[in-house]
Structure 1
Amino acid sequence: MDIAQSIIIRPATSTPEQEEVRRVFRSFLQEALASLPPRKVNCWNGYNPEFSRKLGEAGWLGITWPKEYGGRERPQLERFVVLEELLAAGAPVSAHWIAERQCGPLLMRYGNEALRKQIVPRIAKGELYFCIGLSEPDCGSDLASIRTRAEKVPDGWVINGAKVWTSNAARAHFMSALVRTTPGVESRHAGLSQFVVDMKTEGLTVRPIRNMVGQSDFAEVVFDNVFVPDSHLIGNEGDGWRQVTTELTFERSGPDRYLSSTQLMAELLDHADAGEKHHAIELGRAVAELSNLRAMSRGIANMINNGDDPRLATSIVKDAGALHEQRIPELAHLLFGAELRPDGDRFIRTQSFMTQHAICFSIRGGTREILRGITAKGLGLR
């Protein structure tokens, strides 16, 4: 494919069917969230298994998946509508988020049939949750340098090593882990494989990591002779790098990459002075950025729906989305200069939380440097 063609993100047309999905789902969401505590900030790390099960029972998870795996075989842009509404409402989605976003699609594409039937329908029901084992201590953002190893034994593999910054590892039922199965190969991208690891397996230790906002969503996961059966190998041995780059496409392409700061954006608009030209200019620019990011993200959903390869486009949009999200707390300080503290009014609390939390936006899902390296390589610049 021509390089220029590979990064063209064509607009996705909104249809009456999509708007009907939005109307129906918004009504469902209003009722489902009514009994839950108020969300202090719109960020998708809120964890509530009961809410995830409600979504699954109502058929709102895995809606693009085949019906035999619990899906509804709906277009990607209808799923996009569901994601937008969840994020706009600040719904507590993190229990099912990773499993539904990338692990289900990964298993349906590469997993054996027994593994698909065992796991994927339960993800669609909102009752089974995943974490992703990628980053490792001392490896930084260089995923190809991972050292966690799996050695072949009768009927399975034994894994030793460690993963770090693993979201929801202390709460997940399974991990999708990328490990090295063939050491000493010439290419660092070769000899890697993916496994589904039961988080209750003997020898697996999860150590929560407390972040700047006082939460322990991240964890270090240590593998000490952890046995994984042959049936839990995802795809073929040695195909891990190709598989994980496909998986990261699902992780980087959605509206969660530019809507984490949307509640603070709403607060800024509420507090803006209509007669202050500086407010109009700065907030107008931010709203325009948000609109463009939405158009690009919807375009990528359409690419996935049409079977096109969106990997280069997702790197560009994810990087642009992180820049936008990190700029919103800075914009709040520029326009209003409020003191950061957790006990202020809703605007102050939201601004304080997002100022502390936004640092991770350029790290999660691939660091800014890695994404720009992928973009440069895709454009033939390196």
Structure 2
Amino acid sequence: MSAVTALFESLAPTSISAPDEDLRAKIRTFITEAMPFAALDRRARSWQGFDAAFSRRLGEAGFLGLTLPPRYGGGGYGPFARFVVVEELLQAGAPVAAHWIADRQSAPLILNYGDEAQREFYLPRICAGQAFFCIGMSEPGSGSDLASVRTRAERMARGWRLNGQKIWTTNAAQSDYMIALVRTSGTAGDRQQGLSQFIIDLKTPGIVIRPIVDLTGDAHFAEVFFDNVELGDDALIGTEGEGWKQVTAELAFERSGPERIYSSIVLADAWIAHVARAGRNDRATSALVGRLTAEIATLRTMSIAVTALLAQGQSPVFEASLVKDLGTSFEQALPAWIGDDLAAHPEESVAPEFHRTVAYLSQIAPSFSLRGGTREILRGIIARGLGLR
């Protein structure tokens, strides 16, 4: 079987089962009650919308930790249940940033690689929306070369001593914990060898967090400094030296799912409503509506297929990378398409809120292909999966 044939088979269309689909009406009702008057330009910040109270309400309603076992406070569902809930949250532009990383990847990582004490302590708090996590991967001067980690944890008589720096750490300033990939042996030249993961309480002495303001004026990124930070033995997650294998599995969760499709979707909905109010009925508008519909339908089908692989217990690194690359290309193109369309119809009145939304997403869209792995890194993974390198 060729690599291309295997790819088509692994991404074969599948459907979401009725029990999981039944969650859709419930989460829609929750969203309607929780955020009835949210402005369009605020909803466009869904990924960056940090609202701890909203996340706690999600936890209280049972919409966090859906795939975790009930004994840890989870819902006991499969990956499709989370797909349904996440899809509805993003389409509505709900503020998901507070719980996002913990629910999506920190919790599965702790479940799969943590010890029982770590599971019992962290997982119920994540499910309740009471523990927020950030990811400590990227470092200064490394670009997307994750294997060149220099931040180091040295074993002491008791515990570990951590020194180094992480950068582009999303929501570090508002998070409770970081799961960091650090070096515990060897040097940066050893690449994937000698790496380990640690759960770090961000209130620990020796940690300094500095927000990074982006082009839009938001500051969800941060740089984090570790200066002789003392960690207990219980901070190590999984096996020392197995960090690369663990983080690779974690990235499959980060790069899959509907979150790689819907970053600009509230703008698409608003534009369709705009052209309907304007009474447009021209071929160019119909063609753009058709293009948006066809692309989102195709990407959603592929994303559901990746979710099916997760449900089978697989780690679809290759397939998730493909969907993430195609999905972020669509997300980045959408604000440009809509901006060009509005510019081609200067006679139409554009609501200020709609205008602010177009401006915001046009400014933030370049970051879509950076978070979760740059396009260049992803295409390298795709090329290896196809046997091209």
1:218 paired to 2:221 = yes
SS of residue matched to 1:101: helix
Cα drift, residue 103 of structure 1: 0.2
Partner residue, 1:52: 55
Structure (1 or 2) with the greater helix fraction: 2
Q: Is residue 2:103 matched to residue 1:100? A: yes
Q: Which residue of structure 1 lines up, in the alignment, with residue 381 of structure 2?
A: 374
The residue that corresponds to 2:368 in the other structure is 361
Quote the residue 2:184 is aligned against: 181
Identity among equivalent positions (%) equals 47
Secondary structure of the structure 2 residue equivalent to 1:365? coil
Is contact 1:149–1:181 with CA below 8 Å preserved after alignment?
yes
Matched residue, 1:5 = 6
Structure 1 residue runs of 4+, over 4 Å off? none
- How many angstroms apart in 1 are the aligned matches of 2:2 and 2:187? 35
2:153–2:161: 8 Å Cα contact kept in structure 1? yes
Pair 1:285-2:291 in alignment: yes
CA contact (8 A) 2:102 2:134 kept: yes
- Distance 1:21-1:192 versus aligned 2 partners, 3 A rule: same
What is the CA-CA distance between 1:306 and the residue it aligns to? Answer: 1.1
Note if contact 2:212-2:222 (Cα within 8 Å) is conserved in structure 1.
Answer: yes
Q: 2:385 is matched by which residue type in structure 1?
A: G
Which amino acid in structure 2 is aligned with residue 319 of structure 1?
D
SS across alignment from 1:178: strand
What TM-score results when the alignment is normalised by the length of structure 2? 0.93
Partner of 2:238: 235
User: What is the aligned counterpart of 1:116 among 95, 119, 128?
Assistant: 119
Give the AA of the match of 2:286. A
Alpha-carbon distance in structure 2 between the residues aligned to 1:6 and 1:329: 30
Question: Counterpart of 2:299 in structure 1: which amino acid?
Answer: L
Asked if the contact 2:205/2:229 (under 8 Å) is kept, the reply is: yes
Q: What is the total number of aligned residue pairs between the two structures?
A: 378
Task: Please state if 1:38 is matched with 2:26.
Answer: no
| Pick aligned residue for 1:127 from 123, 130, 147 | 130
Structure 2 match to 1:190: 193
Does the 8 Å contact 2:64/2:127 carry over to 1? yes
Q: Deviations over 1:3-43 (max 9, x none)?
A: 34256212221333233211122112211223x75352333
Which blocks of at least 5 consecutive residues in structure 2 are unaligned? none
TM-score, L = length of structure 1: 0.95
Q: Which amino acid aligns with 1:133?
A: G
Q: Does the 8 A contact of 1:6 with 1:310 survive in 2?
A: no
2:334 alignment partner, one of 320, 328, 335: 328
Following the alignment from structure 1 to structure 2, what is the Cα–Cα distance between the partners of residues 312 and 301? 13
Please give the per-residue CA displacement for 1:236-258, whole angstroms capped at 9, x wherever unaligned.
Answer: 11101110010011111011111
Aligned with residue 19 of structure 2, among 11, 17, 22: 17
3-state DSSP class of the match of 1:364? coil
Q: Secondary structure at the match of 1:44?
A: helix
Deviations 1:64-99 (A, max 9, x none): 111111112112112111001111111111100000
RMSD: 1.8
What is the DSSP-based 3-state SS (H/G/I as helix, E as strand, rest coil) of the residue aligned with 2:185?
A: coil
1:244 corresponding residue in structure 2 = 247
The 3-state SS of whatever aligns with 2:172 is: coil
